[in-house]
Amino acid sequence: MSDVRIDDLPVRDELRGKSPYGAPQLDVPVRLNTNENPYPLPEPLVERIAERVREAARNLNRYPDRDAVELRTKLAEYLTDTSGHEVGLANVWAANGSNEVIQQLLQTFGGPGRTAIGFEPSYSMHGLIARGTGTGWISGPRNDDFTIDLAAAEKAIAEHRPDVVFITTPNNPTGNAVPPETVLALYEAAQAAKPSMVVVDEAYIEFSHGDSLLPLIDGRPNLVISRTMSKAFGAAGLRLGYLAAHPAVVDAVQLVRLPYHLSAVTQATALAALEHTATLLGYVEQLKAERDRLVRELRAIGYDVVESDANFVQFGRFEDAHTTWQKILDRGVLVRDNGIPGWLRVSAGTPEENDAFLDAVRALKKEQS
């Protein structure tokens, strides 16, 4: 049995020789590698989840609400309250993490014979989900400072005429936000070229100095804003992502969603978390302050740091980023090597975790000078 490998199976050609996505899950004292929220859910919320899930358990013999109406209504309220732009149930769709939202979008608007573009380095799952859905992937350009070169991006869109355009803002792994004017210009370029769907991935928007681009969905039916409860809501384990767009987009993704894809337990847990939005957004403010401290201190130590609007910071430059990653790990701190030559990424943790990280890189810098 054990001598049979993936490539011995009749897997699709484009999956041959590939590895699954995944950051190392190592058991070390300080884990700052996957942009999680370091704060456990507050105890009153844990209690409320238990209550809500207990209620849901009484009906687990039945399929869940297939359209997740209560949850989507509450998500719409959250978006309206935080963006000042009114959206309703018909504008919002939810799935198991924004990864599934993205998968459903690519199943709907991409697929065999179609292409999607992202401006890299960016969130690598966009390309991987494209591959998984049979969508051709185009790696668009970025400047050396990781900003989007608008002229080059517009040229790539005009040349390749992709069916889906991904814009991640704030960008992962680099942390910088894309100016709204650039997003609008890329939307126009994508409409002129095809027209195509433009997916703005706002997984980290709650940590940004700037505002969500949500209001831009008005009058732009080909624009989708993708969001998640994994970061700001501190609920990566919940698996709840959502999108806001024109109601026609919400109708379209329902053509590919699996029936009852969001379990009753997931819906109950997410609803409980949304009842505690104010407390959870309080943690976001602390994390933003810690993120700004990381930027300042890393610069003071002498590292190059990319301006960050997210809950993580990209820093460098290293002759050999992987060796440095290992040296930081040897000091008990796990950061992320995304394979971008010269750079590493650290997620903002609790003040104590960030101190441990800063002590580690300070010691490294001393060792090297």
Residues within the interface to ligand PMP (CB under 6 A): 35, 97-99, 123, 168, 172, 201, 203, 228, 230, 236, 241
CB of 261 to ligand PMP, least distance (A): 14
Contact in structure between 41 and 273 (CB atoms under 8 Å)? yes
- Whole-number Å distance between alpha carbons of 257 and 102: 11
Nearer to ligand PMP among residue 235 and residue 250 (C-beta): 235
Closer CB to ligand PMP, residue 236 or residue 301?
236
228 vs 314 by CB, closer to ligand PMP: 228
259 CB burial (10 A radius; 0-12, 13-18, 19+): exposed
297 vs 343, beta carbon nearer ligand PMP: 343
Q: Which residues pair with 164 in a beta bridge?
A: 116, 197
Least distance from ligand PMP to the Cβ atom of residue 226, Å: 7
| Minimum CB–partner distance for residue 58 and ligand PMP (Å) | 28
* E strand or H helix that includes residue 251: helix 247-253
User: SS3 sequence, 351-365?
Assistant: HHHHHHHHHHHHHHH
Rounded to a whole number of angstroms, the minimum distance from the CB of residue 335 to ligand PMP is 15
Q: How far apart are CA 92 and CA 46, in angstroms?
A: 26
- Name the residue whose CB lies closest to ligand PMP: 97
Closest distance between ligand PMP and the C-beta of residue 199, in Å? 10
Where helices occur in 18-68 by DSSP H, the ranges are 43-57
Q: Which is nearer to ligand PMP, 125 or 333 (CB)?
A: 125
For ligand PMP, give the closer residue by CB, 201 or 297. 201
CB distance 105 to 251 below 8 Å: no
